[in-house]
Amino acid sequence: MKSLISINDFNKEEMMQVLDLARKYEAEPNCPIFSDKVIACIFFEPSTRTKLSFETAVSRLGARVIGFSSLPATSIAKGESLKDTIKMVSNYADMIVMRHPLDGAARYASEIAGCPVINAGDGANQHPTQTLLDMYSIWKTQGTLENLSITMVGDLKYGRTVHSLLQAMSHFNPRFRFVSCPELEIPWEYEHFLDSRNIPYSQHNVLEGQIQDADILYMTRIQQERFQDPMEFEKVRNLMSLDASMLTDTKPNLKILHPLPRVNEIATDVDERPEAYYFDQARNGVFTRMGIITYLMNQ
């Protein structure tokens, strides 16, 4: 029995197996191979986007969905421990997909559940299915995951998708450019991680000029709450926003990714450009999650 809690739970080979399955499901999305299974989607905090994506994936695999979404309707509001809730749900389900506001909640759940657990986001920690769908999008658009130049932009300090993607791509000999402001720079432990693997990277404060040799431009949202001074926020956001005029002299294979929802770090005039891939990226989420469910169910 295997769970997917952190992207580090999968080695390179396992990642590629999931991506292969995702490609198969994209070619043939209706594969009701798990019509005898019940999958619980339990969301201790709301996330409509992720929940819909998972429920679609479960439905396309023919399994039935049970579950609940966020407080306060459930017994968690009455003080029931996470442990008791997980024990109860794992009596009913063959697999648990869970999202929780606290870091590490999914790992803990996987230790007490009697069935595989998929982490659909645990606080600021991990969101491995997002990472795998990012990888699927990169793989699909570039034809390979090897030797790519990836520019990551925005909130690199708190952005968990950035951290997980960086860890996952470290298996594939990448080069990174990080574009951020001093307040939101990549944490030292990730610099240390890259150094220890001899992965080249550079840091910048302005997006302009960091796009031209990129294969992948990975944009993330900057949250205003991170700044005490609203003026500072505006200034920083302008330095890290993308518009169509900046997409000149870029590589022909460049694709722009964003885990969504975006605010205005990508101007809408980019949406019609061939480099814009963020909406397709979201669609890839269903196929990738079908691949993850299948891989874990068959372990």
Torsion 288-289-290-294 (CA) sign: positive
Taking CB under 8 A as the criterion, the residue among 23, 56, 94, 108 binding another protein is 108
**Applying CB under 8 A, does 107 fall inside the site for another protein?**
yes
Size of the chain, expressed as the number of residues it contains: 299
CB of 108 to another protein, least distance (A): 5
The answer to whether 54 and 119 have CB atoms below 8 angstroms apart is no
**Applying CB under 8 A, does 196 fall inside the site for another protein?**
no
Question: Per-residue contact track with another protein, 205 to 244, x per CB under 8 A?
Answer: ----------------------------------------
The answer to whether 137 and 219 have CB atoms below 8 angstroms apart is no
Return d(Cα 31, Cα 12) in angstroms, integer.
26
Residue 221's SS3 state is coil
Nearer to another protein, 163 or 255 (CB): 163
Nearer to another protein, 30 or 81 (CB): 81
**Applying CB under 8 A, does 71 fall inside the site for another protein?**
no
Taking CB under 8 A as the criterion, the residue among 71, 102, 244, 260 binding another protein is 102
Nearest to 218 by CA among 265, 171, 283: 265
**Applying CB under 8 A, does 193 fall inside the site for another protein?**
no
Nearest to 42 by CA among 31, 29, 30, 58: 58
CB of 64 to another protein, least distance (A): 28
Dihedral angle of Cα 98, 8, 191, 215, to the nearest 10 degrees: -90
Q: Which of residues 74-93 bind another protein (CB under 8 A)?
A: 81-83
Query: Which residues of this protein are in contact with another protein, per CB under 8 A?
Result: 6, 81-83, 100-105, 107-108, 122-126, 189
